[in-house]
Structure 1
Amino acid sequence: MRIALIADTFPPLRTSGAVQLRDLSREFARQGHRLTVMLPAADLDRPWAVEEFDGVTVLRLRAPPTKEISYVWRTWNEFIMPFAMLRNLRRSPLAGQRWDGVVWYAPSIFHGPMVSALKRESGCKGYLIIRDIFPEWAVDMGLMGRGLPYRFFDAIARYQYSIADVIGVQTPGNLAYFNRWRRRSGRVLEVLQNWLDKPSNVPCSIRVSETPLAGRKLFVYAGNMGVAQSVGIVLDLAQRMASRTDVGFLLVGRGSEAGRHREKAQALGLTNVVFFDEIHPDEIPDLYAQCRIGIVSLDLRHRSHNIPGKFLTYMQSGLPALVRLNPGNDLAELIRSERVGEECQSDQLDELVAKAERLLVQVETDAELPGRCRRLFDRQFSAKQAVSQIAEALFGS
C-alpha cells in the first residue's frame, strides 16, 4: 500500500521520536509498503527536497522553524507549519499523489490540517500515533494552567483527534482519556505499544574502561535530561551510594537540565558519576553492553501513562531497569509482572536506594534476568508488530 507518514522529527535528528520513526519506516518498507515520510524543514532554500532512506521516500517541506526559539514564536510557527507544508507539497513531484492511508505522529499536535487535506483528497483512513497527551501532561507538570493557552492547545489537539479514524495510545491506562472520542461510530481506539527495530552493532565511542568508573557495576541513564525526566533524583541516589566503590552512574544525553545536573554533581563532589554528551542512537547497544542496570526517571506529577523509549532499549539489551515513575503508571505493573527490574512510585529516596540495592543483588544472582528482559521486548515492542497493527487497522476488513 502507498502510505504517507507525517511527523516533525526524523534522522539525522537523534531524539527518541526520530529513532522510533526511523525504525517504523524501515519496517514499513520491509513489509512491502511504499512509504513517504513528510517532514517540516526550516533550513531548506527551496520549497521541497526529496531523498531516499533505506527504501523509504523522505519529502522535506519548507516550514517555519519550531526549535530553539521562544515559546510564543514556536506556537505561532507550529500553528502555520501544516499550511506551509501543504502549500509546498503542492509544488513538489508528489503533488497529485493519492494515498491508501495516512499515518501521523504526535507530538506535534499541529498536523491536523495537512492530514485532513490528504485524507479528503485520497478518500483514505488516517491513523494517529499518540506518544504523549498534550497539553494534559503540561498541566500535570505545573507548566501550564487551564486558562486561555490551555484551551487553545486543547482545541488544536481535539481537532486532530476528530479527523483520526484510528488512534493508537501507548498503554491501556491512556484509553480512558479518549472514551468520549470513541463513542462516534467507525472510530477505533487501541493500544499501540512503543517499538524499536533490531539493534545495531556499531561500536560505541564511550569506553567505560577508560573512565573513572572502570570495573564498577554501572547504572546507566541515556536520553533527554529535561524537566519531565527528574534526573536530579539519580544524583541523589548516587550520593547515597557513594560509599560503594563497586557501583557507578553513567549519564549520557542532552536537554534543558543537563548543565544544571552536571553542576550539581560537581558541587556534591560525586566521584561515582560520569557525564557524556549525546551519542548516535546506533551506539546505544554497545554502550549498554558495558552496563548492568538501566535507569528510567519520570516526574511524579505526571498523570498519564508512559512507557519511555529508553525502557525499550534496556529490555532489548537485556538490562533490568530501575524505574522511578508516577503512581499508577501502567509501566509499574509491567515491571512487576514480568520481573524485569524494580519500580518506585514515591519521592522517598530511602525507598529508591533500597530498590537499587535489591536490583544489584538480583543482577548477580538471577541468571534468567537478562533473558526475561529480551523476551519481553520481543513479545511486545518490536517494530514488526507495530507496523502489522497499523496496517491491519488501516486496510484490514
Structure 2
Amino acid sequence: MDILCLFITYPNKPDNHTMFKNLTKRLSDKGHNVNVVTIQERKYGESTKLNNENGVNVLRVKTGNFFDTNLIEKGLTMLSLGHLFKRAVKKYFSEIDFDLIIHSCPPITYNPLIKYIKKKYNSKSYLILRDIFPDNAKDLGVIDNIFIYKFFKRMERNLYKYSDYIGCMSQGNIKYVLEHNPEVDEKKMHILRNWSNYKEKLSVDQNSIRKDYGYTKDDFIAVFGGNMGKAQGLDFILNIAKKIESKRIKFLLIGRGTQKERLKKRAIDGILKILDYVPKEQYEKLVTACDVGIVSLVNKYSIPNIPSKTVDFFKLGLPIIACIDESTDYGHILENEAKAGLFSIHGEEIDFINNLMEVANNENLRNKMSINARQYYEEYLTTEKATKTILKEIK
C-alpha cells in the first residue's frame, strides 16, 4: 500500500524511537510505501525538505513554532497545519496514489488535507486517537471561551467524520467519544493501545545501580519518570512522601517539565529525590533497579486518560501504583486486566498510602505483579501488535 502518515512530531535523530517512528518503520519493513508529513518549526531556520529516513520518506514542512512557545503562536501554527500540509503534499507527493492515511490526534487540524486525499484517491483514513481535544483543554482551563471551544468542537466532529477507522486507547475512550459525538458510527471504533518496540526484559546489577544513586539494597524505591507538568499533579506525591513513616521507602522523580524547578525546592533529603533528564538506556537501567512505578494524573479530567508511561514500566516488568482521575478506566485496566498494580483517586492520601504499603510489604504480590506487567506488555503493547491491529481493521 501507499501510505501517508501525518504526525505532529517525528524526531530526525536515528536513535530517537517514538511510537510513531516505530510504527512507520514496521509498516515499511512489511513492504508498504510509507510517507510521513511532519512539522519543521520556523525557529530552526530550515526550509521544507523531503528525505528518506531509515526507509521512510519524511517530508518536514516549514511551519510556525509549535513547541515551547506562547499559546497564541502555538494556536496559529496548529490552525495552519492542514493547509500547509496540503500544499506540501500536492507539491512533493503528487505522483503517489495514496491508499491509506494514518493520522494522530492531537492535533485536529489536518482536515483540509485528509478531505482532499480521500476525495482524489478514494483513500481510507485511520485516526490514532491519543487525546480528545478540545475537551482535555477545557478540563485544564486552557480553553475557557465557549466560542473557541465550539469552534474546535466542530473541527473535532469533522475529523471523526473523515476518519473511516478510529483507534482508541481503551473502552472508556470509545464510550466517551460515542456519548459526546452521537453521530459517530460505533463500527469505526476499536481499541489500539499504546506501544513500543519489543525488547527483552533487562537484567541489571540492581545493587550496583542503587549504590550509584545513593540507595541501598533494602530501600523500597517508587519511581516517577516523564513530564513534570500541572497535569501530573506531583505535589500530591511530595505530600505523600512527607507522611510516610517507613524510612526504607524512597521516592525518585526523573524528567523535565514546567513544574520541575518548583518541585525541586520541595525535595526531601533522604526521602524524595528529583533528577533531571536521564538518557534512555541509563533511564531504563535505573527504573529496572526500582521496585514500583508511579503514575499520577490530576483529578480534573472528564475524558478517560491512559498514561503512555505505562508501556515503559510494563516493558521493564515494574508494577504500578497509580493516583488518577475519576473519569478514566485506567484503574480497571491496571488492576483487573493487567493485574499489575493498584490505583486510587488523585488527592486521596490514605488510599494511596495503603496501596503503596501493601505492595512494599508484600514481596510475593510485587513479584506476581511484575510478571503480569511484563506479560501484558508482550501480549498487547508492542509495535508489532499495534501494526497488526491497524492492518486488520483496514482490510
Verify same fold: TM over 0.5: yes
Deviations 1:7-62 (A, max 9, x none): 11122589x9x721122223223333222221011135322231313x32222111
Partner of 2:253: 251
Partner of 2:188: 188
Partner of 2:242: 239
Change (3 A) 1:208 1:51: farther
1:32 aligns with 2:35: no
What SS class does the counterpart of residue 257 from structure 2 fall into? coil
Partner of 2:88: 88
1:95 shift after superposition: 3.0
Give 5+ residue unaligned stretches, structure 2. none
1:305 shift after superposition: 1.5
Q: Distance in 2 between matches of 1:222 and 1:62?
A: 32
| Aligned partner letter, 1:295 | I
What SS class does the counterpart of residue 96 from structure 1 fall into? coil
Give 5+ residue unaligned stretches, structure 1. none
- Which of 334-343 and 175-184 deviates more? 175-184
Which of residues 216, 221, 226 is equivalent to 1:223? 226
Q: Distance in 2 between matches of 1:364 and 1:186?
A: 42
- Whether the aligned pair in 1 keeps the contact of 2:221 and 2:252 (CA below 8 Å) is yes
Change (3 A) 1:162 1:147: same
Q: Distance in 2 between matches of 1:21 and 1:288?
A: 23
Q: Distance in 2 between matches of 1:99 and 1:228?
A: 38
Q: % of aligned pairs identical?
A: 22
| Aligned partner letter, 2:263 | H
Q: Distance in 2 between matches of 1:178 and 1:328?
A: 13
Q: Distance in 2 between matches of 1:82 and 1:307?
A: 27
Q: Distance in 1 between matches of 2:281 and 2:81?
A: 30
Partner of 1:298: 297
- Whether the aligned pair in 1 keeps the contact of 2:230 and 2:259 (CA below 8 Å) is yes
- Which of 164-173 and 32-41 deviates more? 32-41
What SS class does the counterpart of residue 133 from structure 2 fall into? coil
| Aligned partner letter, 1:210 | D
Q: Distance in 1 between matches of 2:280 and 2:50?
A: 25
Q: Distance in 1 between matches of 2:52 and 2:94?
A: 16
Partner of 1:153: 152
1:274 shift after superposition: 1.8
1:64 aligns with 2:67: no
Deviations 1:201-226 (A, max 9, x none): 7999x954222334422111111111
1:81 shift after superposition: 2.1
- Which of 315-324 and 214-223 deviates more? 214-223
1:271 shift after superposition: 2.6
Alignment of 1:332-371 (within 5 A): 332-337=331-336, 338-363=338-363, 366-371=366-371
Equivalent pairs counted in the alignment come to: 386
Q: Distance in 1 between matches of 2:96 and 2:280?
A: 33
- Whether the aligned pair in 1 keeps the contact of 2:296 and 2:346 (CA below 8 Å) is no
Change (3 A) 1:270 1:116: farther
Q: Distance in 2 between matches of 1:98 and 1:124?
A: 8
Q: Distance in 2 between matches of 1:252 and 1:175?
A: 32
What SS class does the counterpart of residue 58 from structure 2 fall into? strand
| Aligned partner letter, 1:110 | T
Partner of 2:318: 319
TM-score normalised to structure 1 length:
0.89
Partner of 1:260: 262
1:363 shift after superposition: 3.6
- Whether the aligned pair in 2 keeps the contact of 1:199 and 1:282 (CA below 8 Å) is no
- Which of 20-29 and 122-131 deviates more? 20-29
- Which of 176-185 and 229-238 deviates more? 176-185
What SS class does the counterpart of residue 327 from structure 1 fall into? coil
- Which of 115-124 and 218-227 deviates more? 115-124
1:186 shift after superposition: 9.7
1:103 aligns with 2:102: yes
- Which of 134-143 and 228-237 deviates more? 134-143
- Whether the aligned pair in 1 keeps the contact of 2:204 and 2:289 (CA below 8 Å) is no
- Whether the aligned pair in 1 keeps the contact of 2:252 and 2:272 (CA below 8 Å) is yes
- Whether the aligned pair in 2 keeps the contact of 1:81 and 1:110 (CA below 8 Å) is yes
1:349 shift after superposition: 1.0
Partner of 1:389: 389
1:264 shift after superposition: 2.2
- Which of 138-147 and 34-43 deviates more? 138-147
Partner of 2:118: 119
What SS class does the counterpart of residue 97 from structure 1 fall into? coil
Partner of 1:309: 308
Change (3 A) 1:95 1:334: same
What SS class does the counterpart of residue 66 from structure 1 fall into? coil
1:127 shift after superposition: 0.4
